[in-house]
A = this chain, B = another copy of it.
Amino acid sequence: MAIKNKTRYAILGVISMKPCSGYDIKKFCDKTISHFWNENFGHIYPVLSQLEKEGLINLSDSSEGCKRKIYEITDKGRKEFCEWLMQPFEPQPPRSELLLKLSFGNYIPKENVIEMMKEVKKIHESKLKEYKQMEESFLNDENAKKHPQYAYWLAPLRYGIVASEAALKWCEETIENIIRHE
């Protein structure tokens, strides 16, 4: 059976970049990878304890006597993290509430569906704008370019951009189709 707890890998990944606390991890997720990954405290803290118990992370020396609990990754932890990275990608079972709703659109007035689709379009527009701004500042950052993670950070951002553009196009097309179909 495939391991399903992805939170542990997200945490290992964040800690592997820089020793940090549970609070830091949450902040990092919210600020940096929020457009493709989310975590919440209620899950982070128990998983942190478990990872420590398994010896994949350690309380760092710097956090002794201090209130904040700073964790660092161990060799064992780095090994397990890399093993996960090397495992082939397995598609996740899809669940799109939007597409589910949409496919039963004939049960409610056309206007409501169109309104919903316009809302969806707006969401993608604002996301696209945000991603493009991020991309611009990223491409102009000479320091970032030298970072070994550069191409791997650009990729999710680029995904956000092309996916949003496609979704936008699809929204327009779908609204047209719904209007046209009597």
Contacts and interface: CB of A to CB of B under 8 A. Distances in A.
A159 B106 CA distance: 18
A159 B99 contact: yes
A116 B86 CA distance: 8
A119 B89 CA distance: 8
Q: Interface majority SS on A: helix, strand, loop or mixed?
A: helix
B16 A99 contact: no
A111 to B, nearest CB: 11
Interface string A106-122: 11100011001001100
Contacts of A88: 116, 119
Nearest to A33: B103
B177 A96 contact: no
Contacts of A149: 103-106
Interface in A58-89: 78, 81-82, 84-86, 88-89
Interface in A5-44: 6, 9-10, 13, 16, 33-38
A163 interface: yes
A100 B181 CA distance: 40
Contacts of A10: 100
Interface of A: 6, 9-10, 13, 16, 33-38, 78, 81-82, 84-86, 88-108, 112-113, 116, 119-120, 123, 148-156, 158-159, 162-163, 165-167, 169-170, 173-174, 177-178, 180-181
